[in-house]
Structure 1
Amino acid sequence: MKLYYSPGACSLAPHIVAREAEIALVLEKVDIATKRTECGANFLEINPKGSVPVLELRDGERLTEGPAIVQYLADQKPERGLAPLSGTMARYRLQEWLGFINSDLHKTYSPLFNPVTPEPVRSERKAALLKYYAFLERHLGAQPWLLGDRFSAADAYLFAVTNWAPHVGLDISGLVAIASFQQRVAGRPAVQEALLAEGLLSMSNDAIHK
């Protein structure tokens, strides 16, 4: 399978999940600004929506949208425990967290990466993010992972999105549980492998984007 990704983008989440599941992926980097892949392909022909991640399956079919991709990857290796079994309440809890991260956190960050976003909008978006992180701080202060005592695909997504905070000037340094969570995720061997493969362990701040 092939993952189309951009370093530091939300595509980091499925990259982490694949490595946690020990699923081999071919990586193809995408320049989101020019919509070209590192092999010179027109990315809009691969995904007309123009966004990463895209997972190209072995039969050539393509799957888009991070929450769908991380669940697909997790389901390929159910024994790894990255997603609860389909049809269980625990699986719906996973989807609940993926939905929150996608629709509330991720989309609230998006305007902060646009240099023409007016300052009042930036301030409002940062205030909203701090409210969401206060909720997460309480939750993660009581348990190590979003679903309890086991790392899941939702944790990979939260980690990827929360990494954006310093790059948009969002100060969450006072949130002890969030900081501890980020450190726990970053210390996982599979996560280190993904970060290294994307060049994120030495990447400058301005190279990381949504």
Structure 2
Amino acid sequence: MSPILFYGVPSGCSFGSIVALEWFGAPYRLCRVRMPEDVSGAAYSRLNPVAETPTLLTAEGAAISESMAILNHIGARAIDAGLGFAQHTPEFDRLNQMLAFLNTSFFGAFAPLWHALEHGIEGEARQALADYGRAAVAKAHADLERMLGAGPWLLGERRTLADAYFIGIARWTRYHDVIDRGDYPGLQRLYERLEADPGVAFAHAVEAGRPENGSAGFEGEVGLDEAVALLSGSGA
């Protein structure tokens, strides 16, 4: 069977994995997971007991969770497509370094802002979280701006899985008005370049519930119960 990516809505970090699969172009399917309704339910917990998206169900029926692990899984298969690099090369190390920064510092900077929004925090506690989050997001953007070289992509002249992951997180400034990305001109140019990309446009359409004009690899969506039944050893 073709792999199935379980992606979270609204606005999950799984967005980057959808973009990566589109860029790769190999056969894959998608499964929509509503947050928090589906992601904390019994069906999805069979795939991912941590109750987070994304999860990738491989062609062999094995479940892989965590964005960095999923992107590395895709990257190992997409070297010829130019998205990943062979292990034990400097390029592979640079890609992993960038993915690790995005997965920890860049992603994590938004955590206090999401916590305040999703849990209805008010008053002084909300202000404290907002102040902490604003400082963290600003620092993460400043650090990434310094890491960004003169090339058009995060790692230079070649787009990689790091760019796919970046755009899924960078768009969160729409929900949390804590910085002006214009203060980071390199990141602003990268953001605009990615927003104009067909794979990114497709991922936006998927989240909006109107998946159209995907790559030749996209084979459609599958329901949650049907997808979970394909888990190896599920007994279904």
TM range (shorter): 0.7 to 0.9
Task: Look up the match of 1:144.
Answer: 152
Q: TM-score, normalised by structure 2?
A: 0.78
Aligned pairs (5 A) from 1:157-196? 157-174=165-182, 175-196=184-205
Q: Give the CA deviation at 1:29.
A: 0.8
- Secondary structure of the structure 1 residue equivalent to 2:64: strand
Q: Contact between 2:44 and 2:51, CA under 8 Å: does it hold in 1? A: yes
Q: Contact between 2:84 and 2:92, CA under 8 Å: does it hold in 1? A: yes
Task: Look up the match of 1:70.
Answer: 71
Moved over 3 A (4+): 138-141
Point out the more displaced range, 142-151 or 167-176.
Answer: 167-176
Q: Contact between 1:35 and 1:44, CA under 8 Å: does it hold in 2? A: no
1:133 aligns with 2:141: yes
Q: TM-score, normalised by structure 1?
A: 0.87
Distance 1:113 1:143 in 2: 32
Aligned pairs (5 A) from 1:35-74? 35-36=38-39, 42-74=43-75
Q: Contact between 2:85 and 2:92, CA under 8 Å: does it hold in 1? A: yes
Please, which of 25, 36, 55 is the counterpart of residue 28 of structure 2? 25
Point out the more displaced range, 192-201 or 139-148.
Answer: 192-201
AA in 2 matched with 1:45: R
Q: Contact between 1:81 and 1:152, CA under 8 Å: does it hold in 2? A: yes
Structure 1: any 5+ residue segments left out of the alignment? 202-210
Task: Look up the match of 1:111.
Answer: 112
Q: 1:120 to 1:101 in 2, by over 3 A?
A: same
Distance 1:141 1:36 in 2: 38
Distance 2:130 2:43 in 1: 32
Q: Contact between 2:149 and 2:156, CA under 8 Å: does it hold in 1? A: no
Instruction: Report percent identity of matched pairs.
Output: 27
Distance 1:71 1:53 in 2: 13
Distance 2:18 2:151 in 1: 24
Please, which of 185, 208, 221 is the counterpart of residue 199 of structure 1? 208
Structure 2: any 5+ residue segments left out of the alignment? 211-236
Point out the more displaced range, 99-108 or 168-177.
Answer: 168-177
Task: Look up the match of 2:218.
Answer: none
Distance 2:61 2:147 in 1: 40
Task: Look up the match of 2:98.
Answer: 97
Give deviations 1:112-134, integer Å, cap 9, x for gaps.
11232631122122112111211
Task: Look up the match of 1:207.
Answer: none
AA in 2 matched with 1:14: S
Give deviations 1:2-37, integer Å, cap 9, x for gaps.
000013211011111110010222111111212359
